[in-house]
Structure 1
Amino acid sequence: MPAELEGRRLSTVLMSTLGLSRRLLRRIIHEDGFFLNGQPVRLSAIVRRGDLISWQLPDESPSIAPEQMPLDICYEDEDVMVVNKPAGILTHPSARERTGSLLAGVAYYLQKTGQTPHAVHRLDKYTSGAILFAKHAHAHHQLDRALRQGLVHRKYVALAYVQNDIPCGVWLHLVDDLAINPERPSRRIVVPEGKGERAITHALPLARTGHMVLFAFELETGRTHQIRLQMASRGMPLVGDRDYPYSVARKPDLVGRAGYFERVFPHQALHAYQLSWQLGENGPRKKSWARVPEAMERLWSLSGGMDTMEQWCERAAVASPTNDNRVTLDME
């Protein structure tokens, strides 16, 4: 125990300094799981310089039935793991689909260690890429706080149908208010400022082949379907996206190719290629990559794209919308 914490209650040190949640504190104390210098202790104890505090995390049971499935694990340590989610499976079960989720697959994988996975965030069913899982309740609490504090960052890459000649290498700044579509609650719509939740997206056109443009994205907010809707509303829908097609922009398709790009891929061509996080406010910054799906690479290559999407992701990873030039692209 460092000198600056001397004289404080153990409960204060555990919550404010080590980031344990009140709920977890109650569970551990119920099982007599806190120790001061190797001896059981109450939370009201006063800590002294040089004290050694330890605790035993309570056992957890997964909230869903574990299911065996192949996992593309990008990163793993004693607290977290990052899995490259394929397009077509849910992050966790829904009311309609109770089995086959990635969470169930991770729960099966962790059975051998006695740990229980907690999904820190999610991706749409038909979006692929990096998903962060906490292996225990304490890590989940820390990462949930980190997510709210903006310490968990995701970077995306996508293919989009673009008619006009936008310059590559210049960040586009997309700002809208989004709300639930009253006619289709599972979808979102753009609404006037102040009528919905603010969505801020930074989009970087990387390369072009014909009317297909390879984009990289960084998000300031994490609204449902944010990238897909904001791009479609500006007449740049993602390739394969039937939920947010070119018609969302409500303007004529002068090139006449929108329908083709809606059908050329079985789902939206969107992938979360990089994930970075920090476990606790003073923890080290960590980063993981999720390889672009082969189907997206093949589409880009067969369409005449130069270099691989993986190579473009490596270049995009070092670009920053805060340091590079950018323009604001409003809806027409």
Structure 2
Amino acid sequence: MSRLVELEVPLWDRGKRLDAWLAGEMEGISRSRIQQLLEAGAVTLAGGERPKANYRLRGGEKVLVTLPDPVSLEVKPEPIPLDILYEDEDVIVVNKPQGMVVHPAPGNESGTLVNALLYHCGDLSGINGILRPGIVHRLDKDTSGILVAAKNDAAHRGLAAQVKAHSMKRVYLALVHGNISEPCGRIEAPIGRHPVDRQRMAVTAKNSREAITHYRVLEHFDGFTLLEARLETGRTHQIRVHMAFLGHPVVGDLKYGPRRCPFDVPGQLLHAACLGFNHPVRGEYLEFTAPPPQPFLQVLEKLRRQKEGEG
């Protein structure tokens, strides 16, 4: 049966966009899913008004959200090999290869991680709708590394709560342009849609959300720096946008960095190397690591040889 969720807007949230506020309040439901519910008329105010996504909250009003019955998934399972790091009846942890899209979208209806997971698992949680079953957090197509998916709704809610509370450990390796002199740093700069190019994100004060990235320098090269980046928040393209904002874009990132890459690599040299979380059902802490893919390692090896030669 459909489920009705009733929320009251606190006065201190006055002025926020409705879709952004709901995405922050409703665990396990993405902002795009919220926007779909708004378009379908499944979100109403107490008086029956059906607001739009950009409705500005007044504070004190009640918002009613009708979550529809789970629908059968229409995404086709595909026998795509998976690098599985862990699996039980509730969750599955995989090392996503560079170049694989996480979930189906226009232009990428097949060959995605979701297609592969459905074939392997048979079923996933349905909280995030037909096209994103089981997906709690995402990685960009050309970002490799560790990702956890939920096999059922209880696991999805438990994992989503950790993402919302910023308690899920997500650590990346990134090779960036330039030499960063500080050994570590904290980037706090809000991220929203680019005002002109809607396919990009940008550091902006308009229609943006809080974004915080911590970084630590691991190694210096001639013109490049290897970083460890830890996400406190998880906005779209967050590390890529924040590093470009600092003037140190990720190597191979043609969207936010130089149009030409100095190395022959298939995408940005950004890898989700470590993921840690509390099991959403049993409660124990789990942590997983995975090395970068070969193109990333080959670039590092080349840079280290150059550094040794200069020494």
SS in 2 for 1:142: helix
The CA deviation string for residues 160-216 of structure 1, in whole angstroms up to 9 with x for no partner, is 111x4514xx21111112220132212011224x76222111111100121121100
Q: Map residues 1-332 of structure 1 onto 2, 5 A cutoff.
A: 61-111=72-122, 118-162=134-178, 164=179, 166-167=181-182, 170-192=183-205, 196-246=208-258, 259-261=260-262, 264-280=264-280, 283-304=283-304
SS in 1 for 2:210: strand
Q: What's the TM-score, normalizing by structure 2?
A: 0.68
- What CA distance in whole angstroms lies between the structure 1 residues aligned with 2:201 and 2:149? 26
2:244·2:256 contact (CA, 8 Å) conserved in 1? Answer: yes
The CA deviation string for residues 115-172 of structure 1, in whole angstroms up to 9 with x for no partner, is 666112110111111110111222112212222122322110011111x4514xx211
Match of 1:26 in 2: none
2:85·2:94 contact (CA, 8 Å) conserved in 1? Answer: yes
Q: What's the TM-score, normalizing by structure 1?
A: 0.64
2:137·2:148 contact (CA, 8 Å) conserved in 1? Answer: yes
2:91·2:149 contact (CA, 8 Å) conserved in 1? Answer: yes
- What CA distance in whole angstroms lies between the structure 2 residues aligned with 1:78 and 1:60? 21
SS in 2 for 1:240: coil
- The one-letter code sitting in structure 2 at the alignment partner of 1:185 is R
- The one-letter code sitting in structure 2 at the alignment partner of 1:75 is Y
- What CA distance in whole angstroms lies between the structure 1 residues aligned with 2:180 and 2:191? 27
Give the drift of 1:96: 2.3
The CA deviation string for residues 1-43 of structure 1, in whole angstroms up to 9 with x for no partner, is xxxxxxxxxxxxxxxxxxxx9xxxxxxxxxxxxxxxxxxxxxx
Structure 2 unaligned regions, length at least 5: 1-26, 28-69, 126-132, 307-311
Question: Matched residues, percent identical?
Answer: 35
SS in 1 for 2:167: coil
SS in 2 for 1:118: coil
Which segment drifts farther, 234-243 or 278-287? 278-287
- Report the aligned-residue RMSD: 2.6
1:84·1:291 contact (CA, 8 Å) conserved in 2? Answer: no
SS in 1 for 2:107: coil
- What CA distance in whole angstroms lies between the structure 2 residues aligned with 1:266 and 1:219? 24
Check 1:75–1:281 CA distance in 2 against 1; reply closer, same or farther (3 A cut): closer
SS in 2 for 1:197: coil
SS in 1 for 2:78: coil
Structure 1 unaligned regions, length at least 5: 1-20, 22-58, 247-257, 307-332
1:60·1:115 contact (CA, 8 Å) conserved in 2? Answer: no
Kindly name which structure, 1 or 2, has the bigger radius of gyration based on alpha carbons. 1
2:251·2:261 contact (CA, 8 Å) conserved in 1? Answer: no
1:146·1:281 contact (CA, 8 Å) conserved in 2? Answer: no
SS in 1 for 2:191: strand
Check 1:133–1:220 CA distance in 2 against 1; reply closer, same or farther (3 A cut): same
Check 1:115–1:158 CA distance in 2 against 1; reply closer, same or farther (3 A cut): closer
- What CA distance in whole angstroms lies between the structure 1 residues aligned with 2:305 and 2:245? 25
2:90·2:281 contact (CA, 8 Å) conserved in 1? Answer: no
Check 1:211–1:277 CA distance in 2 against 1; reply closer, same or farther (3 A cut): same
- What CA distance in whole angstroms lies between the structure 2 residues aligned with 1:177 and 1:76? 35
SS in 1 for 2:117: helix
Check 1:66–1:195 CA distance in 2 against 1; reply closer, same or farther (3 A cut): closer
The CA deviation string for residues 69-117 of structure 1, in whole angstroms up to 9 with x for no partner, is 1110111122111111111111111122111110110110113xx6666
- What CA distance in whole angstroms lies between the structure 1 residues aligned with 2:185 and 2:135? 30
Check 1:62–1:207 CA distance in 2 against 1; reply closer, same or farther (3 A cut): same
